[in-house]
Amino acid sequence: MDFTGVMDFTAATIADFAIILTAAGLMTLLFHKIKQPLILGYLIAGIIIGPYFLPINLIPEPDVLHATAEMGVLLLLFSVGLEFPLSKLRALGLKTYAFIAGIELVLMFGFSILAGMLMGWPLVDCLFLGAALGASSTVVIAKVLTSMGKMKDVSATIMMGVLVVEDLAVVLILSILTSTMGGNTLSGWEITWTLGKMVIFLVGALIIGLALIPRFIDWINKTKAGEDFTEQDEVTMLTALGLCFGLSLMADFVGLSMAIGAFLMGIIIAESKAGECIHHHIARIKEMFGAVFFVSVGALIDVTLFSQFIIPAIVVIVVMLIGKVIGCGVGTRLAGYSLSTSLKVGMGLGQIGEFAFIVAKVGMDMGVVSDFLFPTIGVAVAVSTFITPYMIRISYRIDLDQWWQNRRQRIKTSA
């Protein structure tokens, strides 16, 4: 057996990690010094070492990094789920999330169709654009909120709940679009079956998982109680990670995002007594793989296309911001929350997620969308990812409730 290829592949992979982590570390140091969001440093580091910025290719094995980046997504969302015990989510209720997401998605499709037609796009492009803009980036939003220490805020809980509903809704919408555009008749049975799979998976995972997994995790923790503390944590953490990846694969099998499976497992394990300990000990692993993910996203941004697609991308970003800020903000307000919380949710969700790439690629692979749609969405995702940390930070600095009280007081005084 010839091991030359294996050795070359291994060396290339290690070189990739060395370049990515070094670039991420240097850029993180710089952005920490200038007090800017670290996620922007990761993205810029990715652009610099990516294939479109320098004349030489510094990343010889990008496919390996894509897989590693996906693992970073799963670990990040698993960690986020650990911060959201079911009791906390139950306090708001699924109806609240569905209500807010429903208003947002209706506005997004309406604005996407209007903007696309004004730019002369075919209706099919407009529909796929609406689906692409439907889901925000759980990874980016969770990373920013975590770095700000706001994950336990009420607005963060609402955002995470809406993000889950968004992912489920976009999967269903995409299945309807592919069925219709593929030349098949729009079968009510197929739509019902797709929606049924989602419901069965979510309900089944929560019911069965909550009945068995927290007890199992705590049982493992107890059986190791007499051993060294580090070994106890190691066994518990590895078991939890195995369960996380297992449910992620099950989610992928039924046609959902693997990230949803990781998030759900985090919610389930959060009900165990060891949940907080697990969350603490996977933090460093999560940070490393998370850095690889964001650097990899930056490396995929083709900066050479900015000048060609910047105008339609700006239009798409404006449409997205209007639709999401108004839709999510107004929806949150109508659900009974304060003005400040509504602003945080609206501006926090004003972002285009990585799922937009999947939607655009599906349309492109089917040959039903125009060639310009994918790069336009790519530029829009890149720009919106850059501005997201600033939008979230600004929303947390504006106290609309205090402003409204002061305004009412001035009106009463003048009267």
Kindly report the CATH number assigned to the domain that includes residue 360.
Answer: 1.20.1530.20
On whether residue 395 sits in a domain, the answer given is yes
Please state the domain count of the chain: 1
On whether residue 4 sits in a domain, the answer given is no
Higher pLDDT, 352 or 4: 352
275 has a pLDDT exceeding 80? yes
Question: How much is the average pLDDT of 336-341?
Answer: 90
On whether residue 10 sits in a domain, the answer given is no
On whether residue 333 sits in a domain, the answer given is yes
- Contact (CB, 8 A) for 323 and 135: no
**For the segment 363-407, what is each residue's pLDDT rounded down to a tens digit?**
877 788 887 887 788 788 878 888 888 899 999 988 888 888 888
Note if the pTM is more than 0.75: no
Q: Residue 302 belongs to what domain range? A: 16-411
On whether residue 81 sits in a domain, the answer given is yes
pLDDT at 92: 60
On whether residue 11 sits in a domain, the answer given is no
pLDDT at 376: 85
Q: What does the DSSP 8-state code read for residue 93?
A: -
Cβ neighbours of residue 52 closer than 8 Å, sequence gap 6 or more: 301, 302, 303, 304
On whether residue 229 sits in a domain, the answer given is yes
**For the segment 298-334, what is each residue's pLDDT rounded down to a tens digit?**
777 777 777 777 888 899 999 999 999 999 999 999 9
Q: Using CA atoms in the order 149, 151, 153, 154, what is the torsion angle rounded to 10 degrees?
A: 170
- Contact (CB, 8 A) for 266 and 282: no
Q: What does the DSSP 8-state code read for residue 34?
A: T
Instruction: Quickly state the pLDDT bin for 105 (edges 50, 70, 90).
Output: very high
On whether residue 6 sits in a domain, the answer given is no
